[in-house]
Amino acid sequence: MDIGFLTAPFRNESLDHVIHFAADNGFDALEVAATPGSRHLDPAALTARQAREIAAKVEKKGLRISSLACYTNVTDPDPQRRQAVASHLIKAVDAAHALGVDVVCAMAGLPQPGLTRIETIEKVVSKVYPKILRHAAKKGVKIALENWTATNIRNLQEWDRIFEVVPDENFGLNFDPSHLYWQGIDHIEAVSRFAKRIFHVHAKDTEVQVHRLRYLGNQAGGWWRYVIPGLGDIAWGPFIGALRRIGYNDALSIEHEDGAQGREEGFIRGKNYLRQFA
């Protein structure tokens, strides 16, 4: 497996800077931030020449782009904003194709006001994603949704429903075990259950602060935090073993949300820890 990282924490630096950092510190891959206006890669502004130049720079440094990252709200209640998000995702698909990248990471959107997550999937997601996925299929690109708990795919019931409603084969997951772990959802079983839908993996750990949990109870927040792999409670050996058993041999992309670790320090520490398994 390749070890990489989401470039978003370097939002104020150029993509060239990120490429050099990754290559100089032994990373294999980059999940390149590609939201509207991103300094790293803005799909709306990318030309064919720029795509060739970026791909050449990445390859020359011994790296690859594991995915483009477009974490935007595809279920925005405002129809115009929702359409703008969908249009940007289509441009991200085109950018990925131009770069020789086969995954665009995205979100399942947030629950709409007055609707449950399941209802939002059935009434809104079902209308937004099919057109995007048809276009992506023509370009050889897959869409991978991160299972962030604020979105419409917080738990496995919602995962089941979204793939029932939108069954396209190029629609899947950017699997993040950290969001499942603190909820008490079996992330190992989830790997087996959704084996065919795992297109990309976020490497992010979770520290459950038991003393806070016992004080606040599990209905409150503030008793867990997201940390660099190896500094939390997830057993990465069994998790990566489960990924290997289903044939996943792609990127482990470190998502750095650990406030106790510096940016470069955290990425390097996470990479060094994961390397023993991958």
Task: Kindly report whether the global pTM for this prediction surpasses the value 0.75.
Answer: yes
Q: What is the structure's pLDDT at 77?
A: 98
In sequence order, the 6+-apart residues with CB closer than 8 A to the CB of 74 are: 82, 85, 86, 89, 106, 107, 108, 109, 125, 128, 129
Identify the DSSP state of 168. -
In whole angstroms, how far apart are CA 88 and each of 37, 81, 193, 196? 11, 11, 31, 26
In whole angstroms, how far apart are CA 229 and each of 38, 206, 252, 272, 274? 26, 8, 11, 9, 7
Helices 126-139 and 79-99 meet at what angle, rounded to 10? 20
188-194 CB contacts, 8 Å cutoff, 24+ apart = 188/238, 188/239, 188/242, 190/156, 190/159, 191/239, 191/242, 191/243, 191/245, 191/246, 192/242, 192/245, 192/246, 193/156, 194/156, 194/159
Q: What is the structure's pLDDT at 241?
A: 98
What whole-number distance in Å separates Cα of residue 266 and Cα of residue 271?
Answer: 9
At 39, the amino acid letter reads: R
What whole-number distance in Å separates Cα of residue 168 and Cα of residue 149?
Answer: 23
What whole-number distance in Å separates Cα of residue 144 and Cα of residue 201?
Answer: 9
263-268 CB contacts, 8 Å cutoff, 24+ apart = 263/9, 263/10, 264/21, 264/25, 266/228, 267/5, 267/25, 267/27, 267/228, 268/25
CATH of the domain at 127: 3.20.20.150
Q: Which spans in 100-186 are helix H?
A: 117-120, 126-139, 156-165, 177-181
Q: What is the structure's pLDDT at 59?
A: 98
Domain of 129 in residue numbering reads as 2-275
Question: What tokens were used for 255?
Answer: 């998502």
What whole-number distance in Å separates Cα of residue 32 and Cα of residue 27?
Answer: 14
Count structural domains, the chain.
1
Q: CA 213, 219, 222: angle at the middle one, nearest 5?
A: 50
Per-residue pLDDT of the chain (278 residues; tens, 9 = 90+): 999 999 999 999 999 999 999 999 999 999 999 999 999 999 999 999 999 999 999 999 999 999 999 999 999 999 999 999 999 999 999 999 999 999 999 999 999 999 999 999 999 999 999 999 999 999 999 999 999 999 999 999 999 999 999 999 999 999 999 999 999 999 999 999 999 999 999 999 999 999 999 999 999 999 999 999 999 999 999 999 999 999 999 999 999 999 999 999 999 999 999 999 99
